[in-house]
Amino acid sequence: MKTELLAPAGDLKRAKTAIRYGADAVYLGGKRFSLRSRASNFELADIAAAVRFAKEHGAKIYVTVNMIPHDEDLPGLEDYLQQLESIGVAAVIVASVHIAILSKKIAPTMEVHLSTQQSVTNSAALRFYQKLGVDRVVLAREASLDQIDTIAKRSGCDLEVFIHGGMCVNYSGRCTLSNEMTLRDANRGGCAQSCRWKYRLYNGETELSDPHRLFSMSSKDLIAANEIPALLRLGITSLKIEGRMKSAYYIAVVVDAYRKLIDAIQQGENEAEAVENCIKLLKKAENRPTADGFFHGIPHAQHHLYGLEGETIHQEFVATVKDTLPNGKVRIILRNNLPRGIEIEVLSPHKEIRTFTLHTLTHQGVVVDTANIPMEIFEITVPFAVEPGDFLRKKGV
């Protein structure tokens, strides 16, 4: 069985990017019934377009219907599920038993995948959902590799495991910190990430916390490059990347890195070298500091972010290819400062990273030394073929 690489997308452009860079399936959210409401930019027509693009490339689209609904949220749900089925969505990801049962009943050709919001941590709990007809279970992030192995063997169910991205520090779905702190319901897409705030810790009236390094629950992001070989051997159905709010560049880098790793292992290449290469590629994305989550046991202090270390924003991503012209000319959409004379790396789907030195740079026909107007179109010369949507970044930053 081929293991699926599953990527997130916050809009159609990012869905296409994920598929071009090697995702076997993409999950995305509509305007309603989905968590990450701010990341859900898909109208039904956009979802249909994503489905068409995915089918053309042999990929699948899953739609998150993963809010934990209150009664007032439910009107329109049945129509929505049937519409998703009619446009060819392969599966819905749900966090409600009611929605799981309803979807199987009224949209039977769509698979139902149980969200990690239900915090399934063992094979006996999983059986409850199997009896309901759930096709796949996204395991809780709290499961270790050994536990995942046993769950896989005992359940015989299709399993999905998170391999990369942000981590809830609490059991997903069981946290109301955001409700308490900001009146925003995490289970309905409003999570304010109050766990990442700074707190003072007291024992009675005595402060224990270090004022220069306050208490926080903030978790480092997950990285599972080292664990991919084991997950592939376990026959896990789907390896999932988190981050529907992440940029197209981030998605391209992360999907590309894991795609190359999975392919290398499946083709029998040297695992250690493939893992090392994957980690090197992942470092080009704007991650928070990363750790291995629960894969090897309960996280320790070094799995948390106590200081000011937030997301690392690299300035190395400089442009995307808009289109190509004759004679190696390429029009790019600028994203970050780009001086002439530097070495550029090109990130293209299913290709090794290629480099060139930027000798020509023009703006509206005028030669410039530096491109520095974000989202403006510049023209450069590239000594090899590139495609629209390819990413350019500075080498060695």
Partner 1 sequence: MKFYSILRSFDQLSALHRAGADGVVLGIDRLSYRMPKYTLDECFDILSEAKAYGMEVFLSLNRLLDEDEILEAKSFIDQIENHGFDGIYFQDLAYLDFCAGQPMQRIYAPEAIITSSREVEALCANGIDRVMAAKELTLDEITTMASANPQKIDLFGFGHLPMSFSRRPLVRNYLEEIGLDLKFAEGMELRIKEAKRDVYFPILEEDKETVIFADTIFCALNELTALDRNGVHAIIVDDLFVDPKLLTTFIRSCKNVLNGDDPRNELENLREIAPELDLSSGYFYQKTNLTKEGASL
Site for partner 1 in 291-350 (CB under 8 A): 294, 298-301, 303-304, 306
What is the H or E stretch that residue 55 is in?
helix 44-56
Q: Which parts of 63-82 interact with partner 1 (CB under 8 A)?
A: 68-74
- Part in contact with partner 1 (CB under 8 A); list of ranges 23-31, 200-208, 264-272, 371-379: 200-208
| Integer Cα distance of 25 and 108 in angstroms | 20
Q: Does residue 145 bind partner 1 (CB under 8 A)?
A: no
| Integer Cα distance of 6 and 251 in angstroms | 11
Q: Which parts of 43-62 interact with partner 1 (CB under 8 A)?
A: none
Q: Which parts of 9-38 interact with partner 1 (CB under 8 A)?
A: 37-38
The residue within the footprint of partner 1, chosen from 198, 233, 280, 350 (CB under 8 A), is 198
The residue within the footprint of partner 1, chosen from 170, 336, 362, 372 (CB under 8 A), is 170
Q: Does residue 106 bind partner 1 (CB under 8 A)?
A: no
CA angle (212 as vertex; 209, 217 as ends), nearest 5: 55
Q: Which parts of 119-138 interact with partner 1 (CB under 8 A)?
A: 119, 121-125, 127-129, 131-132
- What's the half-sphere exposure (Cβ side, CA atoms, 13 Å) at 392? 29
Q: Does residue 192 bind partner 1 (CB under 8 A)?
A: yes
* Backbone torsions φ then ψ of 148, nearest 5 degrees: -60, -40
**Min separation Cβ 101 and partner 1, Å:** 5
Q: Does residue 116 bind partner 1 (CB under 8 A)?
A: no
Q: Does residue 171 bind partner 1 (CB under 8 A)?
A: yes
- What's the burial of 383, exposed, middle or buried (CB within 10 Å: 0-12/13-18/19+)? exposed
- Part in contact with partner 1 (CB under 8 A); list of ranges 9-17, 167-175, 334-342, 383-391: 167-175
CA distance readout (Å), 4 to 11, 25, 76, 255: 21, 7, 31, 12
| Integer Cα distance of 377 and 367 in angstroms | 13
Q: Which is nearer to partner 1, 283 or 304 (CB)?
A: 304
Q: Which is nearer to partner 1, 190 or 229 (CB)?
A: 190
Nearest to 8 by CA among 335, 33, 34: 34
- The token duo for 380 is 């450069």
